[in-house]
Amino acid sequence: MVALLRSCRRLIPHLSACAAAAPSSSSSCAPRARPISRGLRLLPVVLAMAGYSSGSAAEGRRLLFRQLFEKESSTYTYLLADVGDPEKPAVLIDPVDRTVDRDLNLIKELGLKLVYAMNTHVHADHVTGTGLIKTKLPGVKSVIAKVSKAKADHFIEHGDKIYFGNLFLEVRSTPGHTAGCVTYVTGEGDDQPSPRMAFTGDALLIRACGRTDFQGGSSDELYESVHSQIFTLPKDTLLYPGHDYKGFTVSTVEEEVAYNARLTKDKETFKKIMDNLNLAYPKMIDVAVPANLLCGIQDPPPSKV
């Protein structure tokens, strides 16, 4: 106890000095929200995480992150927000129609401003909540890959950067489960979250991967996508899947490279595994896919005069 008290006495002056040196939040040099870049094309967005710090000590913690679960389809929805920005802009990745009210209530409680509702692909096992969110929060914009051929406000392509404050999500094209799958990866740099995080949708699951037998799927393409776009990320990158059926919530690149039961195999073995899964026809596909091609209910109903 005596040693602990002595450590605290040494630490307190140091902390006081750091606090005195920190810039005021009202400073004209405070970071402002920037648009998203697609090479030279721009599109604004927001990100964040909780439990992780980024940037200098003076900036402090900027990220808020919540992993949310929809039990009927075992779908994960991800809420990310830049709480260092005065408006606390936020995005939702893969919202589900059944849990829109829960998600919007949480966003309200946390004092966030939802900017984008984003999908990793056109889902076959649930109806996206994007359209319903737009009817409840008319300012929210929908985001999906251009190649998916779905309706949305903003279409993204490989290499796009979705900015939220001083942070951004990088778009990586990861087709194979469907032709239009993308993975969203937190930015790289001293002022970005560390470790990085990747939201893989159905391309890569924990110890598994999404099926490849419908919606333009290809086991050959999926293998190349995961190995070139996800397994090349830093080993400590946190991997957040679109679904989990066994109670897992997060993995890492290092774990999946070592232990993924399908993607640790060579390509030909992987293709044989995928060809012989003999999975049942998705029970929601005939409802979900047509709806999701319109981002759920994309356009708000006309107002009554």
Phi, psi of 84 (to 5 degrees): -85, -15
The predicted structure's pLDDT at residue 11: 43
Whole-angstrom distance, CA of residue 132 vs CA of residue 130:
6
Could you give the CA distance from residue 203 to residue 184 in angstroms, rounded to a whole number? 11
- What is the DSSP secondary-structure string of 46-96? ----SS---S-TTT---EEEEEEEETTTTEEEEEEEETTSTT-EEEEES-B
**Residue 53 pLDDT level (bands cut at 50, 70, 90):** very low
Q: Which range among 26-40, 174-188, 205-219, 229-243 shows the weakest confidence by mean pLDDT?
A: 26-40
- Over residues 223-255, the pLDDT tens digits come to 999 999 999 999 999 999 999 999 999 999 999
If pLDDT is split at 50, 70 and 90, which confidence band does 16 have?
very low
Closest CA to 225 of 160, 162, 161, 181: 181
Is there a contact between 145 and 26 (Cβ–Cβ < 8 Å)?
no
Closest C-alpha among 147, 194, 150, 191 to residue 171: 147
Residues 6+ positions from 127 with CB-CB distance below 8 Å: 96, 97, 284, 287, 288, 291, 292, 296
Domain boundaries, the chain: 61-276
Residue 262 pLDDT more than 50?
Answer: yes
The model's pTM is: 0.80
> CB of 265 within 8 A of CB of 209?
no
Q: Is 146 exposed, middle or buried (0-12, 13-18, 19+ CB in 10 A)?
A: middle
Reported confidence tier of residue 295, pLDDT bands at 50, 70, 90: low
Least confident of 37-41, 144-148, 162-166, 284-288: 37-41
Q: Does 45 or 136 have the greater pLDDT score?
A: 136
Q: Is the peptide bond before 195 cis (omega within 30 degrees of 0)?
A: yes
What is the fold of 61-276? Metallo-beta-lactamase; Chain A (3.60.15)
- Would you call 49 exposed, middle or buried from its count of C-beta atoms within 10 A (0-12, 13-18, 19+)? buried
CA angle 36, 38, 43 (to 5 degrees): 30
Report pLDDT digits (tens) over 146-182. 999 999 999 999 999 988 777 889 999 999 999 999 9
How far apart, in whole angstroms, are the C-alpha atoms of residue 171 and residue 38?
Answer: 9
